[in-house]
Amino acid sequence: MNGDLKKFFNPRSVAVIGASRSKGSPGYTILENLLFNKRKGVFKGEIYPVNPKAQEIQGVKCYSSVLDIPSKIDLAVISTPAKIIPKLIGECGTKKIKHVIVVSGGFNEVGNQELTDKLKESIERNKVRLIGPNCLGVINLHKGLDTSFIPVFKKTLKGEKVTSAPRPKKGYMTLLSQSGAFGTAALDYLYSEKIGINVFVSYGNKLDVDEPTLLNYFLEDEDTHVILMYVESLERGRDFVETAKKVTLTKPVVVLKAGKSPGGSKAASSHTGALAGMPEIYAAVFKQTGVISATGMEDLFDKGKALLYQPPAEKDSVAILTNAGGPGVLAADAVELQNLKLTVFAEETMNKLYSLVGEGVIVPYASLHNPVDLSGSATIESYIEAMKVLLEAEEVGAIILFPLHHPPSIEQPETLALELSELINKYRKTVVACKIGGSRMSAIVEELLEKREIPVYPSPERGVKSLKGLVFYGEWLRKHNLLSTYLKKFWKLKEERQKVDG
């Protein structure tokens, strides 16, 4: 079954049916994006434009039909008027192309059920696997495959060429999106947030390949460590539940379900032509299947990053370490809002903290009860020693860290960030960090921590929500006695990622 889909994501040859000479049209941009990666040497396969009216497009020989292409074709990307597509699928069948992406819209999403049925009949008859129609297809950041018709660059009023939808860097999260527009926006967001992606799939009307199919495939995919999904509707409910239950025992799956409210749900229906379904049902289904729910786009990627970088929490009890009273209070608020617990420190933990005050490591006016607020007089030593106490405290399941670059007493905050991250990665407890602000020093500290896979969030609220994902997933794995199995694999993957990237 999985070998069956592989050529969608790693084809050796791609035919672009409907490749166009008209700049800005989908058929032009798809070819442009593919050739751009090919010429950079990122995409290693062959590219064949198909258009009966052209001899050559963008410097590449063009064929009238896939049937004229002399070589074997792994994948066809179709961007033509909708009504001729069932016939084109027939040609793909004859040419023994088993994988087709139909980018074009004009099917059930606009109420054209007759054409949709024809397309369905054609793919079944020709034994073709289909992604789409009405989608962007696939972007594989590791292999350089990019079938989307979204231009990377646009022009300013002065005529300058600037990035408009840059692709993210390669990474280890796979994003599955029903909506192409959400996907496009997400790619741009991921790029600017420096979050890496393995494969992006925009699957549109999902006439064949749908959520259960994709989940099954990416369960086995080695470069996918976390799966993210944007979903408006799930037609194959039972299959989704079964598949998701299986996948979440091995890999975290975070889902943003759009169309939660009556209005949003109606909007989703008219957008995809599918029944969006009751929000309560979805929430219950996700919980029962170990799927981590996201509340919005930022939260989807925030939680994804947390699950990629950090181990699931072993307890729902959270300690906060800060040098900033106000943000510490906001984090404490967020902890309780997310139904997590603020750790009540054990006597041993309190005694260790008091000793640090006694030794002059922590200032006497620091606040030691959770949140541990080292105050604006925090020193690197006070941070390290207090962190050690929290990492060692058995009653603490996870830690929220404010490695603010702001305490006036710390002149070189990188030293603090470096020493803290070494400590954290040694103790292997769940830790997320928050920073506030976008100064140069803030960016430097953030980059340093994220390179070591300690996720950094721009507000206490977002940090705590992400932590909630790690707590939920920890509970799910514990319930199935799989936490230690998962953790073993998690640390192995993390080590490998650090080797490759670091």
Site membership for its own copies, residue 290 (CB under 8 A): no
In this complex, which beta carbon is closest to its own copies, that of residue 74 or of residue 373? Answer: 373
Q: Is 35 in the site for its own copies (CB under 8 A)?
A: no
Which member of 182, 203, 286, 486 binds its own copies (CB under 8 A)? 182
Q: Which is nearer to its own copies, 130 or 195 (CB)?
A: 195
Q: Is the CB of 405 or the CB of 494 nearer to its own copies?
A: 405
Taking CB under 8 A as the rule, does residue 295 contact its own copies?
Answer: yes
475 part of the interface to its own copies, by CB under 8 A: no
> Which one of 85, 255, 332, 401 is in contact with its own copies (CB under 8 A)?
332
Q: Is 192 near its own copies (CB under 8 A)?
A: yes
Which residue of 146, 232, 314, 450 would you call a contact of its own copies, by CB under 8 A? 232
Per CB under 8 A, 200 contacts its own copies: no
Q: Please tell me the distance from the alpha carbon of residue 476 to that of residue 314, in angstroms, as a whole number.
A: 11
Q: Quick check: helix, strand or coil at residue 352?
A: helix
The interface mask with its own copies, positions 245-274, x = CB under 8 A, is: -------------xxxxxxx-xxx-xxx--
Least Cβ distance, residue 24 to its own copies (angstroms): 6
> Kind of pairing, strands 13-17 and 372-373?
unpaired
Q: Where does this chain touch its own copies (CB under 8 A) — which range of 68-76, 175-183, 280-288, 389-397?
A: 175-183
- State the nearest-atom distance from the C-beta of 92 to its own copies, in Å: 25
The count of other CB atoms within 10 Å of the CB of residue 302 is 26
Q: Are 202 and 231 in contact (CB under 8 A)?
A: no
**Separation CA 201–CA 425 (nearest Å):** 32
- If residue 356 lies in a helix (H) or strand (E), which one and from where to where? helix 347-358
What distances in angstroms separate CA 223 from CA 131, 134, 245, 494, one per listed residue? 21, 27, 20, 12
Stretch that binds its own copies, among 4-12, 92-100, 239-247, 332-340 (CB under 8 A): 332-340
Centroid of chain to Cα 32: 25
- Which residue of 186, 254, 285, 292 would you call a contact of its own copies, by CB under 8 A? 186
Residue 196 makes contact with its own copies by CB under 8 A: no
Q: Which of 439, 484, 485, 498 binds its own copies (CB under 8 A)?
A: 439
Window of 87-95, 123-131, 162-170, 302-310 that interacts with its own copies by CB under 8 A? 162-170
Q: How far is the CB of 420 from its own copies (least distance, A)?
A: 14
Q: Work out which of 440, 481, 500, 502 binds its own copies, going by CB under 8 A.
A: 440
Q: Which of 74, 91, 188, 453 binds its own copies (CB under 8 A)?
A: 188
**Nearer to its own copies by C-beta: 91 or 211?**
211
C-alpha to C-alpha distance for 287 and 4, rounded to whole angstroms: 30
Site for its own copies in 122-161 (CB under 8 A): 149-151, 154-157
CB 444 to its own copies: min, Å = 6
User: Which listed range, 239-247, 346-354, 419-427, 430-438, lies at the site for its own copies (CB under 8 A)?
Assistant: 430-438
For residue 38, CA distances in Å to 42, 157, 199, 425, 463 come to 6, 30, 17, 38, 39
Dist CA 27 CA 33 (whole Å): 10
The answer to whether 381 contacts its own copies (rule: CB under 8 A) is: no
Binding residues among 103-122 for its own copies as defined by CB under 8 A: 105-106, 109-110
Q: Which of 193, 223, 395, 419 binds its own copies (CB under 8 A)?
A: 193
Residue choice 41, 364, 481, 502 for contact with its own copies (CB under 8 A) = 364
By DSSP bridging, strand 430-434 and strand 456-457 are parallel
Q: Beta strand 173-177 with 199-202: parallel, antiparallel or unpaired?
A: parallel
Please state, in angstroms and rounded to a whole number, the distance separating the CA atoms of residues 438 and 436.
7
Binding pattern to its own copies, positions 42-81, x when CB under 8 A? ----------------------------------------
Residue 182: how many CB atoms within 10 A of its CB? Answer: 18
Does the protein bind its own copies through residue 373 (CB under 8 A)? Answer: yes
The Cα–Cα gap between 379 and 369 comes to: 18
Reply yes or no: is the peptide bond before residue 455 cis, omega within 30 of 0. Answer: no
In whole angstroms, what is the distance from residue 372 CA to residue 423 CA?
18
Our CB check for its own copies shows the closer of 412 and 484 to be 412
From CA 396, how far away is CA 417, in angstroms rounded? Answer: 21
Which alpha helices (DSSP H) does 95-148 contain, by range? 113-125
Helix ranges restricted to H, 41-158: 85-94, 113-125
Nearest to 2 by CA among 101, 129, 90: 129
Residues touching its own copies, count (CB under 8 A): 102
106 in the Ramachandran plot: left (φ > 0), alpha (ψ -120 to 50) or beta? left
